[in-house]
């Protein structure tokens, strides 16, 4: 009887193990279909640590990448994303998805990176200058950073350029304590002003913020206007959106849920605007103005952007992915000033004096 009971127990255990294995296979298949490429940390590792915030954040950025790529590809069926998986010898890697020379998008990139290793003194100094006091061990700080970052440059000057980025950072100090924070944002850079589009974009972001705290949208909208400021031109890069950095309260879970809401808002805040304008007619003069505005975009990214600077200072970082944000084409004309009361002058006025779009 005892042997029979043991046989039954073994049979049940085998069946349970087989069921668990087939369930894992199904999950793997589903995850593979959900993402643009296998995740940097590997499916098994993500499943093993599925409750840890690092793993949940990695799944979120992978999903955000896939959602945006699929939404863009659906609007530009003749073009396709090149999916480029890369490894960083110091630890981690990433997935770069880039579409070039489409009918609708001149260049669209959606990158994911998950990197870890030791932070250099220079990179740590940049963080300390933002008020983070970090205690290094032998001048080194173990860190883990992950994020999704996207810049979309459409062909048509009536479709705005859009950028978003959501990231998580963790640092282990000499005494073993971990410091963590989130950063990110979504912002719009139109060549010509369309008030209806500006309102739709800002309202969608405001709704995502309002689910968590009514104070967040006004605070992060102002932060966005202040951050994307090209000092030497006295104008903003675009008409803003939201931007935040170094957010480490009220709790890890609450900030993660907020970031998740923001990441889920990127497709609905932008894709309807592309659909609305991607077949608008435009003149060579309007295309020229778009090229000049892109020149300003490049100036901001190379001179002021914190993410670009940090990327260039991180050992083993992938330069192609960091500079993916630059447009395929741009133009710098000497002393170009648009005529007064023109559509070109109208957008400049808003870039010099940010507006409240939602009240």
Ranges 110-119, 145-154, 193-202: which has the least confidence: 110-119
**Does residue 352 have a pLDDT over 80?**
yes
pLDDT (tens digit per residue) in 269-310: 999 999 999 999 999 999 999 999 999 999 999 999 988 887
* Across 324-330, average pLDDT: 93
Q: How confident is the model at residue 20 (pLDDT cuts 50, 70, 90)?
A: low
Q: What is the DSSP letter of 41?
A: T
How large a percentage of the chain has pLDDT more than 90?
70
In the predicted structure, residue 243 carries a pLDDT above the cut 90: yes
For residues 57 and 83, the answer to whether their CB atoms sit within 8 Å is: no
Active-site residue list: 163
Q: Tell me the mean pLDDT in the region 170-189.
A: 90
Is the predicted pLDDT of residue 179 greater than 90, yes or no?
A: no
pLDDT of residue 33: 77
Long-range residue pairs from 283-289, CB within 8 A, at least 24 positions apart, any chain: 286/157, 286/158, 286/191, 286/192, 287/157, 288/331, 289/157, 289/191, 289/192, 289/338, 289/344
DSSP SS3 for 162:
strand
Res 4: pLDDT: 66
Tell me the average pLDDT across 217-235.
97
Mean per-residue pLDDT for 334-352?
A: 96
Query: For 79-116, how does the pLDDT look when each residue is reduced to its tens digit (9 = 90+)?
Result: 889 999 999 888 999 999 999 999 999 999 999 999 99
Q: Is the pTM of this model over 0.85?
A: yes
15 pLDDT band, cuts 50/70/90, is confident
pLDDT at 214: 98
Residue ranges per domain, the chain?
33-352
Comparison of pLDDT for 351 and 135, the residue scoring more: 351
**Residue 309 confidence (pLDDT):** 84
Most confident of 31-35, 99-103, 321-325: 99-103
Average pLDDT, the chain: 91
Least reliable range by pLDDT among 73-77, 300-304, 321-325:
321-325
Which value, to the nearest 10 degrees, does the dihedral of the CA atoms of residues 191, 193, 197, 198 take? Answer: 100
pLDDT band at 221 (very low <50, low <70, confident <90, very high): very high
Give which of 242, 236, 246, 209 is closest to 224, Cα–Cα. Answer: 242
- pLDDT at 311 (0 to 100): 81
Instruction: Compare 194 and 122 and report the one with higher pLDDT.
Output: 194
Can you give the pLDDT at residue 328? 93
Contact call for residues 221 and 242 (beta carbons, < 8 A): yes
DSSP 325: G
Task: Provide CB contacts within 8 A for 353, sequence distance 6+.
Answer: none
Pick the CATH number of 33-352 from 3.40.30.110, 3.30.420.40, 3.40.1500.10, 3.40.50.11540: 3.40.1500.10
């Amino acid at each position: 009887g005892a042997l029979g009971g043991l046989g039954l127990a073994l049979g049940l255990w085998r069946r349970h193990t087989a069921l668990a294995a087939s369930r894992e296979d199904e999950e793997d298949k589903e995850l593979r279909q959900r993402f643009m490429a296998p995740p940097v940390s590997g499916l098994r590792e993500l499943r093993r640590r599925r409750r840890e915030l690092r793993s949940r954040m990695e799944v979120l950025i992978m999903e955000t990448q896939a959602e945006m790529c699929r939404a863009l590809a659906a609007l530009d069926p003749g073009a396709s994303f090149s999916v480029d998986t890369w490894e960083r010898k110091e630890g981690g890697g990433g997935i770069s998805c880039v579409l070039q020379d489409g009918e609708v998008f001149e260049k669209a990139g959606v990158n994911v990176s998950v990197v870890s290793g030791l932070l250099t003194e220079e990179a740590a100094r940049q963080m300390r200058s933002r008020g983070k006091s970090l205690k290094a061990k032998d001048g080194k700080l173990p860190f883990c950073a992950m994020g999704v970052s996207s810049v979309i440059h459409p062909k048509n000057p009536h479709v705005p350029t859009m950028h978003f980025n959501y990231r998580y950072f963790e640092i282990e100090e000499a005494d073993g304590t971990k410091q963590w924070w989130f950063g990110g944002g979504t912002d719009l850079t139109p060549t010509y002003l369309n008030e209806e589009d500006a309102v739709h974009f800002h309202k969608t972001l405001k709704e995502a913020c309002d689910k968590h705290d009514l104070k967040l949208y006004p605070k992060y909208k102002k932060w966005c206007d202040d951050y994307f400021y090209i000092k030497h031109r006295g104008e903003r890069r675009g008409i803003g959106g939201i931007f935040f950095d170094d957010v480490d309260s009220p709790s890890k879970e609450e900030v993660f849920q907020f970031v998740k809401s923001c990441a889920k808002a990127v497709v609905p805040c932008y894709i309807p605007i592309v659909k609305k304008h991607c077949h608008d007619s435009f003149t060579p003069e309007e295309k020229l103005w778009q090229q000049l505005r892109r020149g300003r975009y490049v100036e901001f990214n190379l001179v002021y952007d914190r993410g670009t600077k940090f990327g260039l200072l991180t050992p083993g970082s992938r330069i192609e992915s960091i500079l993916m944000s630059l447009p395929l084409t741009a133009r710098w004309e000497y002393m170009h000033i648009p005529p007064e009361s023109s559509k070109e002058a109208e957008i400049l006025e808003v870039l010099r004096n940010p507006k409240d779009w939602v009240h």
